[in-house]
Amino acid sequence: MVTTPNSPHARDIASHLHPFTNLAVHPQKGPHIFNRGEGIYVFDDDGKKYIEGLSGLWCASLGFSEKRLVEAATKQLQTLPFYHNFAHKAVEPAIELADFLVEHAPVPMSKVFFTNSGSEANDTQVKLVWYYNNILGRPEKKKIIARRGAYHGITLAAASLTGMQYAHNAFDVPINNILHTDCPHHYHYGMEGESEDQYSTRLAANLEQLIFEEGPETVAAFIAEPFLGAGGVIEPPKGYFEKIQPVLAEHDILFIVDEVISGFYRTGNMFATETYDLKPDLITMAKQLSAAYQPIGGVMMTEKIHDILVEGSRKYGIFGTGFTYSGHPVPAAVALETQKVYLERDIGGHVKAISIPFQKRLHALADHPLVGEARGLGLIGAVELVRDKASRANFDAADKVGPWVADRATHHGLIVRPLLNDTIAFCPPLIINEQQINDMFDAMERALDDAVDFVDGLT
């Protein structure tokens, strides 16, 4: 790529601060600019075509050219481009979307509170939990337990919940009252000879021990993704939630299920809460809620939670939280149309069918000499690259094997994302077909084969 002083590449380096980017490297590496999408594909400014193997950031579930969503946004922009939902005011798209979500909730839910992202939604979860216990006269019951390896967002409270070091480095998080318990990854943390069920028993016991050490009267909530997403696409070990949920109930601890990545048919069900038979008090959603065509997130809550919020207004008047764009009519209209597309096209049924060849090709990668574990469910998965299969030892982080493989995949026309422990994640648009799945994994196999020589050259 030839870069001129006034090219988009030069102007990007001059004026654009990128999220989740190595700022010291960016001036030399420069941006990879994309300017068009079609189905599951995106095209860069050289016109090269790529399979978007991670749906952008786990979110573009209907691909990059769904005309119905463009039309829904356009119609709403022409009708009412903005109005707010503060002080008893409302817009119809937000009403209709909230009604739809409550009606289709995986467990009985009462209300939906809209945000602009999953991070904001999880920040709101923290505020709701604290508010809830203050109104109940339990000001000491404020601690929230998350898990190491979890990702719950990057705003102040959400980054605190996120159990990954890069989200904490030099940002003065976690904030007070945020705790972390075990990462539920049997492949790395199970003891020799310990079954998944035994491992789950141990993790539930560790959680309860943490609760006792902190004092059950101080622990307010536990937050979990149904499967770890950005932490490596890690399914819970057998029996995990069946053992965890009774511990929470025993100590009157609210259960927050973060469905930001897993929600809206990624597992085949509308919510992974159904897939794992979870019983949450609060649910976080975003990303595939609108198929990423507009920014929107939300919190669903049970009647039990909502009743206490109403008591708060009896005491204080205004429920003093929210965002200018909470329930913005354009994202709400697009999200509602997204839900209609899902239902009319039976996206859940398509995912259940297409996940069979997807998982077959994914798990076949476990035979590659660099792959320690291939894992996944539905239309999401990952492979973890290891230095030694027998010991399950990862490469040194400084070797950047995962990023190297992801770069080679890009060379072969596939965009994937490297995660911690040199894990490569796959989360293609839900509309992908079997031929495209084969194309995706063919490109990945070529990248892995390329990496053998790279790894042999490491010292």
Tokens read off for 162: 């996120």
pLDDT grade, residue 167 (50/70/90)?
Answer: very high
pLDDT grade, residue 140 (50/70/90)?
Answer: very high
Find the mean pLDDT for residues 181-191: 97
Q: Hey, where are the domains in the chain?
A: 32-65+346-456, 69-344
**Which residues is 234 bridged to in the sheet?**
228
User: Chain-wide mean pLDDT for the chain?
Assistant: 97
What 8-state DSSP symbol labels residue 165? G
Find the mean pLDDT for residues 69-93: 98
Find the mean pLDDT for residues 450-459: 89
Residue type, 345: R
* pLDDT > 90 fraction of the chain, expressed in percent and rounded: 98
> Which pLDDT score, from 0 to 100, does residue 459 have?
63
pLDDT grade, residue 4 (50/70/90)?
Answer: confident
Residue type, 156: L
Asked if 240 and 208 count as a contact pair (C-beta separation under 8 A), the reply is no
Poorest-pLDDT segment among 1-10, 259-268, 357-366: 1-10
Asked if 193 and 218 count as a contact pair (C-beta separation under 8 A), the reply is no
Query: Does residue 354 register a pLDDT over 80?
Result: yes
What CATH code is assigned to 32-65+346-456?
A: 3.90.1150.10
Exposed e or buried b per residue across 310-345, where buried means at least 16 C-beta atoms within 10 angstroms of its C-beta: eebeeeeeeeeebbebbbbbbbbbbbbbbbebbeee
pLDDT grade, residue 458 (50/70/90)?
Answer: confident
> Which pLDDT score, from 0 to 100, does residue 5 have?
79
The distance from CA 27 to its chain's CA centroid, rounded to whole angstroms, is 29
Query: Does residue 156 register a pLDDT over 70?
Result: yes
**What are 392-450's pLDDT values in tens digits?**
999 999 999 999 999 999 999 999 999 999 999 999 999 999 999 999 999 999 999 99
d(CA 197, CA 225): 19
> Which pLDDT score, from 0 to 100, does residue 121 have?
98
> Which pLDDT score, from 0 to 100, does residue 2 have?
53
Poorest-pLDDT segment among 129-133, 289-293, 347-351, 395-399: 395-399
Give the class (CATH, top level) of 69-344. alpha beta
**Which residues is 147 bridged to in the sheet?**
181
pLDDT grade, residue 103 (50/70/90)?
Answer: very high
Query: Does residue 104 register a pLDDT over 60?
Result: yes
80: left (phi over 0), alpha (psi -120 to 50) or beta: beta
Find the mean pLDDT for residues 273-295: 98
**What are 229-264's pLDDT values in tens digits?**
999 999 999 999 999 999 999 999 999 999 999 999
Query: Does residue 1 register a pLDDT over 70?
Result: no
C-alpha gyration radius of the chain: 22
Q: For residue 256, which of 178, 187, 155, 315 has the smallest C-alpha distance?
A: 178
Find the mean pLDDT for residues 346-365: 98
